[in-house]
Structure 1
């Protein structure tokens, strides 16, 4: 399930973290543009020191989507009753197609007349690792279930719950690392494009200045070689 608005939809509608002490936890959000316009979004939270959001602001092209990775920093203690009061707010608004996703104007999300700013609130849910298995071949880890083959089931029957949880945690960390690497690669591509545009502009200015200097030098040289004729007395 997700939260839907006129401009964007958010999946899932709650931020669920598999909470473990002294370890960072991850959660992905998918932002889907429901419109034919370019839509800018910005992520805010009531606890900015606890969470790392990448990207915390960007632009989604028409009918396209974007993945946000939210990292809960490693915590030293469990919250009371595993209840979290943190909240997230995602603002979205239409922007011009020429807007640079890395240089979104600061006033983009200001509430002004004739500007529509949609806001969607998300709550945070903490879960703890837990596991159980039965003879049906269905193994439950946390809030997810997996259908296992006969070889996997035999292996799991001989393994402890802690070992199963460790295997699943390693898989989750691997998947999260791959997602973060993909996100970083996209950001590097954007930086390369920006540098390319800046280098092209710098080259054009340098070339123009150099050409102008050459023109001045040629003019001086011509005036020395071919002095203007003196007027007759």
Structure 2
């Protein structure tokens, strides 16, 4: 920030991201914090290399003005990106209501004692961003391929494990089914015996009480026989 009392100038350093055969621009902001109209003029030590718009103008009271500085396309890279170019911003209080058409060269003549203030700006070239390294890109591609192969192997191995587990489960299911069949047949035996006894009693013409007695005896014998077989 400039210490000038008439205009405040930001930044005090013009930074250009240097690239060959390409125009590059940066901006300045001139701020007028007073109640006066302020005239300004921008000069450079290398006018053929830079274009300044506007290079002269009026900053109204309590307002700002943006100045665009454009560096023409360069054909050669400067050694170590060093630059000795300089800019000079001159400012002076103008008459109330002044416009850019009212600005004259005499207004910025310091010998006339018109209260001209000056601010010097330096120029800096910034190296362009470097492209990503091909080696790094290749490493990332190899890593991605390796991860894909690893994940594919894990999926195949998981599928095989699941398939093997299913194959082992089938004989176990068959064994459980075979063991369950005799138990089902054995549990059905008392019921079948009871039905045969009831049918035989009806066939012989026994009364209801006699039939119930016979059924009870048959049921008791079947139960006793079941427990004897179980033990």
- TM-score of Structure 1 vs Structure 2, range by shorter chain: 0.5 to 0.7
Alpha-carbon shift at residue 39 of structure 1 (Å): 0.5
**1:117-136 → structure 2 map (5 Å cutoff):** 117-130=116-129
Give the aligned partner of residue 136 of structure 2: none
Alpha-carbon shift at residue 102 of structure 1 (Å): 3.1
Give the aligned partner of residue 95 of structure 2: 96
Alpha-carbon shift at residue 87 of structure 1 (Å): 0.3
Give the aligned partner of residue 8 of structure 1: 7
Alpha-carbon shift at residue 3 of structure 1 (Å): 2.2
- Report SS of the residue matched to 2:107: helix
Whole-angstrom CA distance in 2 between matches of 1:44 and 1:111: 15
**1:81-160 → structure 2 map (5 Å cutoff):** 81-130=80-129
Greater per-residue strand proportion: 1
Whole-angstrom CA distance in 2 between matches of 1:81 and 1:64: 39
Alpha-carbon shift at residue 122 of structure 1 (Å): 0.2
Give the aligned partner of residue 63 of structure 2: 64
* Residues 9 and 29, structure 2, Cα contact 8 Å, conserved in 1: yes
Please give the per-residue CA displacement for 1:175-211, whole angstroms capped at 9, x wherever unaligned: xxxxxxxxxxxxxxxxxxxxxxxxxxxxxxxxxxxxx
Alpha-carbon shift at residue 111 of structure 1 (Å): 1.7
Alpha-carbon shift at residue 98 of structure 1 (Å): 2.8
- Report SS of the residue matched to 1:102: helix
Whole-angstrom CA distance in 2 between matches of 1:131 and 1:63: 42
Give the aligned partner of residue 138 of structure 1: none
Alpha-carbon shift at residue 109 of structure 1 (Å): 0.6
Give the TM-score normalised by the residue count of structure 2: 0.55
- Bigger-Rg structure (1/2): 2
Whole-angstrom CA distance in 1 between matches of 2:114 and 2:130: 49
- Give the RMSD, CA atoms, in angstroms: 2.0
Runs of 4+ in 1 over 3 A off after TM superposition: none
Give the aligned partner of residue 40 of structure 2: 41
Alpha-carbon shift at residue 46 of structure 1 (Å): 0.2
Whole-angstrom CA distance in 1 between matches of 2:102 and 2:112: 23
- Report SS of the residue matched to 2:106: helix
Structure 2 gap segments, 5+ residues each: 133-139, 142-231
Whole-angstrom CA distance in 1 between matches of 2:131 and 2:23: 24
* Residues 15 and 126, structure 2, Cα contact 8 Å, conserved in 1: yes
Alpha-carbon shift at residue 50 of structure 1 (Å): 0.1
Greater per-residue helix proportion: 2
- Report SS of the residue matched to 2:62: coil
Count how many residue pairs are aligned between Structure 1 and Structure 2: 134
- Report SS of the residue matched to 1:16: strand
* Residues 26 and 69, structure 2, Cα contact 8 Å, conserved in 1: yes
**1:170-209 → structure 2 map (5 Å cutoff):** none
* Residues 7 and 33, structure 2, Cα contact 8 Å, conserved in 1: yes
